[in-house]
A and B are shown apart, each in its own frame.
Chain A
Amino acid sequence: MRIALVLTGIALSLAAPFFVYPVLLMTILCFVIFAASFNLLLGYAGLLCFGQAMFLGLSAYMTGLMLKTTGMSIELAILASALISAALGAFVGFVAVRRSGIQFAMITFAFAQFVYFLLLQSEFTGGEDGMQGIPRSNLFGIFDISDSMTFYYFVLAATLLVILLVYRIVHSPFGEILQAIRDNEVRVESLGFRPERFKILAMTISAGLAGLAGGLKATVFGFATLTDVSWTVSGEVILMTLLGGLGTLSGPMVGAGIIIVMNDELAQFGEWALIAQGIILILVILFMRRGVVGEAGALIRRIRSRKAN
């Protein structure tokens, strides 16, 4: 059953660009990675990072800078930028794990605004105008991927790798400890582990993955803007994860898909995209905290148990 679902998903995503506008699909994929990075923190480690956009945005600008000023091949530029974001994540983690729960959220929020401000002031980012004309250099230095169709498969491959990686992390001993910290931090500490170290490592990995999403996003659109660092994007990823299903592997994918398509549909109606996001988030928190995937799973289980009886 599960394998069949996964295979159908892969087959659909391979065929999708022939039916749907590839740039929209690539946006969804970037946000699938971004939401997966956020879910790793909140869903598995119980850490609410209210500034995840800083990792996305910083890496987007870094990728743009490298591609514009050097002849680096595209995958190296994106990986290097993801590492820079990971380093930022390690530092933010180092400071923020000193407080837990809601204060952790507020500190990461303040950090993200600080990064926003620095990028706004820096000259290389182009300030309010953003960074334009980011080229797509050849993959591995040889393959031409300037065409959106070809580039889609590169982004898809990266997304599948990330999903696989997150799956491995969640099911590794490290992932088990993260979930144990989420459920009972004191007990984990009494077992001889140091929760802070695991939290900082989780922040680092999550920031690196968010950075990967940012680098890909910058090359998909060919520009990077301050929106990528703004708190609306930090909020968007929270919404995607909660709507899809917190702490489930497929939830953030579903959530990212729904929200990106909704944004796309509402883009012509001014503020209504953000208003709709707010209303959906309120409804999800009030009535559907398990998210789409979680509720669907609960429904299936209920039907099965009824049949068994």
Chain B
Amino acid sequence: MFDGITPQLLFGQLLIGFINGSFYAMLAMGLAIIFGLMRVVNFAHGAQYMLGAFVAWLLLNIFGVPYWGALFIAPVVVAAFGLVMERLILKPIANLDHLYSLLITYAATLVIEGLIRQRYGSTGLPYSSPLPGGVNLGFMFMPWYRLWVVLFSAVTCLGTWLLIEHTKLGAYLRAANQAPEIVESFGINVPRMVTLTYAFGVGLAGLSGVLAAPIYQVSPSMGSTLMITIFAVVVIGGMGSIVGAIVTGYVLGILEGLTKVFYPEGANLVIFFIMLVVLIFRPGVQLNGKGN
């Protein structure tokens, strides 16, 4: 079984797993932040990630803004979009059963993806790498851009975690998660914080989309295919836990890569199986706090 596994194959797949894991971690982290404060499972996260990639593509091809500019502009544009979405469709149903917010973000996904597909077709659009070439490490070839993605997303995850766990703003956020009424009584505008938190999570999805554009094709369905995995990651990692989301994202990405080396047929299923095992053997983990 282990014959024919060259270091190139092993490390190559490990790198792909690490890259995928970076995206799982960033997206699951955004979902966890949004869920933590709002108890909203943001189904549109995948569509917003796709929007990030599309905005980057449009910036490059229409306005001539290169990748490095898009890396800052696109997340802001997508976050602004998230802001509008929260005001228009999430705020009015904030007090209803949380299933409705899942369904309404699903509906928004249909609209966003449908409009993009109607305008740009379902085939992928190419986005050339801003960092061509790479370095030969002896045991494998490391493209510069992939190295950049691994480092940048790790810094983003770490930065977000520090922001939420070790700043005053993060403390407000965590407090509002536990007891919104008390936080409000201290004079903090919780509804505005909710809106901004949603926009921040959506912006993270947009940022991941820009990062992904040169690696994957920019296509309308790039987000929804990823959402399936992200849902599994979030269920395994525990919903609303930021550290859980980040760690699970990386671990599952790498496990998926390793499965591709040792048992290629199972690579697409491994995350699903891990979810099954976790559910069957750790069924008692339930959500705490309000609603589930």
Contact = CB atoms under 8 A, between A and B. Distances in A.
Nearest to A274: B114
A16 interface: no
Contacts of A100: 286, 292
B89 A282 contact: yes
B221 to A, nearest CB: 11
A149 interface: no
A271 B115 CA distance: 7
Contacts of A270: 118
B41 to A, nearest CB: 5
B83 interface: no
A167 interface: no
A286 B89 contact: yes
Given A48-B99, A95-B279, A282-B108, A275 B114 contact: yes
Q: Which of A102, A105, A279 has the most CB of B within 10 A?
A: A102
A281 B239 contact: no
B118 A110 contact: no
Given A107-B279, A281-B110, A282-B108, A101 B292 contact: yes
Contacts of B276: 95
Contact of A275 (B115, B235, B272): B115
Nearest to B122: A271
Chain A interface, DSSP helix/strand/loop, else mixed: helix
B52 to A, nearest CB: 20
Interface string B200-234: 00000000000000000000000010001001101
Interface string B265-279: 000110010011001
Given A109-B231, A286-B92, A114 B269 contact: yes
B81 interface: no
A271 B239 contact: no
Contacts of B239: 102-103
Interface in B259-291: 268-269, 272, 275-276, 279-280, 283, 286-287, 291
B98 A102 contact: yes
B272 A274 contact: no
B59 interface: no
A21 interface: no
Contacts of A133: none
A50 B99 CA distance: 11
Interface string B32-46: 000000010100000
A50 B113 CA distance: 19
Contact of B269 (A50, A98, A117): A117
A98 B103 contact: no
Nearest to B283: A98
Interface string A96-138: 1011111101110110011001000000000000000000000
Contacts of A289: 96, 100
B110 A275 contact: yes
A163 B66 CA distance: 59
Given A102-B98, A110-B231, A286-B89, 20 more contacts: A48-B99, A95-B276, A95-B279, A98-B279, A99-B235, A99-B283, A102-B99, A102-B102, A102-B239, A105-B41, A106-B41, A107-B235, A110-B235, A110-B272, A114-B269, A274-B113, A275-B114, A278-B114, A282-B111, A285-B93
Interface of B: 39, 41, 89, 92-93, 96, 98-100, 102-104, 106-111, 113-115, 117-118, 224, 228, 231-232, 234-235, 239, 268-269, 272, 275-276, 279-280, 283, 286-287, 291-292
11 contacts: A95-B279, A95-B280, A102-B39, A102-B102, A110-B235, A117-B268, A235-B110, A272-B118, A275-B115, A277-B107, A279-B107
